[in-house]
Amino acid sequence: EAGVAQSPRYKIIEKRQSVAFWCNPISGHATLYWYQQILGQGPKLLIQFQNNGVVDDSQLPKDRFSAERLKGVDSTLKIQPAKLEDSAVYLCASSGHRGRTGELFFGEGSRLTVL
Amino acid sequence: KQEVTQIPAALSVPEGENLVLNCSFTDSAIYNLQWFRQDPGKGLTSLLLIQSSQREQTSGRLNASLDKSSGRSTLYIAASQPGDSATYLCAVSPGNTDKLIFGTGTRLQVFP
C-alpha cells in the first residue's frame, strides 16, 4: 500500500514570495491533516479536512496561508506572502478513521526555508 | 488549554540499556495518546496508540503506559539498539476534538 506522498521535498524562497505544497493521502483515507513543524518543536496542526470539508483551521494564519482539498483526495497548502518565521517542515498526514482520531500516517514532509 | 511536555529533551545511552521516556499532559480529558518516531529528515511513524480506556500497549521491545488521572505516559524501550536512535514524540487527542497535540520530543542516541 502506498503511503502519504508529498512534494516538493525541499523549497527555498525569499520572503514575500509564494509557495505551494501538495499532498496525496493514502487511498481511501477520508481525513487529511497539515501540520507545521518548526525546528526543535513538535508538529502543530494547521488544518484538518474530512473529505473535502474543513473540520478545524483554528491555527491556520489565514492572512497568508490557504489550503484546499478538491474532490476529497489531494490537497494543496499555499503560503503567500512567505515570512521568515514560516521556515519549517510541512507535514501531511491522513487517517482512515471517520469522526475520531485513530492512527495517523505521515508523509516525509516538505522542508521550507525562507531567506 | 492542553499542553504536552516530554522529558528528557535528549538522551544518550550505550547499546543494550533499558530506558524510559516520559510524557506529561495537563488535561486528563483525552481520547487517546500516541507515540511516534521521527528519523532525521523524515516524517513520523506511529509506534503505539493507547485508547483512554487502556493502561498500556506493547509492540516488540516497546511498551507504552498511560495514567490518565495523573496526566502521564511512559515509553519503555528494552535492550536498546543503535537503530533506535531517533526523536520520539508523544501526542494526545483531546476528548472533544480530533486533532493531535504534540510534545516537543525526546532525541535519543544509542551508541555501540
Which pLDDT score, from 0 to 100, does residue A14 have?
97
Map residue A70 onto helix, strand or coil.
Answer: helix
The alpha carbon of residue A16 is apart from the nearest alpha carbon of chain B, in Å, by: 25
Q: What's residue B96's pLDDT? A: 65
Query: Mean pLDDT in each 10-residue stretch from start to end of chain B (112 residues)?
Result: 93 96 94 92 90 92 96 97 97 81 95 94
Q: Which residues of A touch B89 (CB under 8 A)?
A: 42-43
Tens of pLDDT along A32-90?
Answer: 999 999 998 999 999 999 888 999 999 999 999 999 998 889 999 999 999 999 999 99
Sheet holding B56-59, edge to edge: B4-7, B19-25, B72-77, B62-67, B56-59
Q: Which of B43, B91, B98 sits opposite A100 (nearest CB)?
A: B98
